[in-house]
Amino acid sequence: MTSVNKKEIEKFSKMADEWWDPEGKFKPLHKFNPTRIKYIKESIINNFKIRNKFKSLSGINILDIGCGGGLLSEPMSRMGANVTGIDASEKNIKIAKLHSKKNKLKIKYLCSSPEKLKITKKFDVILNMEIVEHVEDVDFFLKSCSKLLKKNGLMFVATINRTFKSYVFAIVGAEYVLRWLPIGTHEWEKFVKPEDLEKILMKYDISLKKIDGMNFNIIKDEWSLSRDLSVNYIGKFIKN
- Give the pLDDT confidence of 50-74 residue by residue, as tens digits: 888 778 999 999 999 999 999 999 9
pLDDT at 177: 81
- Under 8 Å between Cβ of 74 and 107: yes
Distances (CA, A) of 24 to 27, 30, 194: 5, 9, 29
Q: In the chain, which stretches have pLDDT less than 50?
A: none
Tens of pLDDT, residue by residue over 118-135, are 999 999 999 999 999 999
Say what the pTM is.
0.96
Radius of gyration of the chain (CA): 17
Distance from the Cα of residue 50 to its chain's centroid: 23
pLDDT at 178: 75
Burial of 104 (0-12, 13-18, 19+ CB in 10 A): exposed
Domains in the chain, start-ordered, CATH in brackets? 6-239 (3.40.50.150)
d(CA 225, CA 235): 11
Distances (CA, A) of 196 to 71, 103, 113, 202: 27, 39, 22, 10
Looking only at the bridges linking them, the beta strands covering 123-129 and 82-87 are unpaired
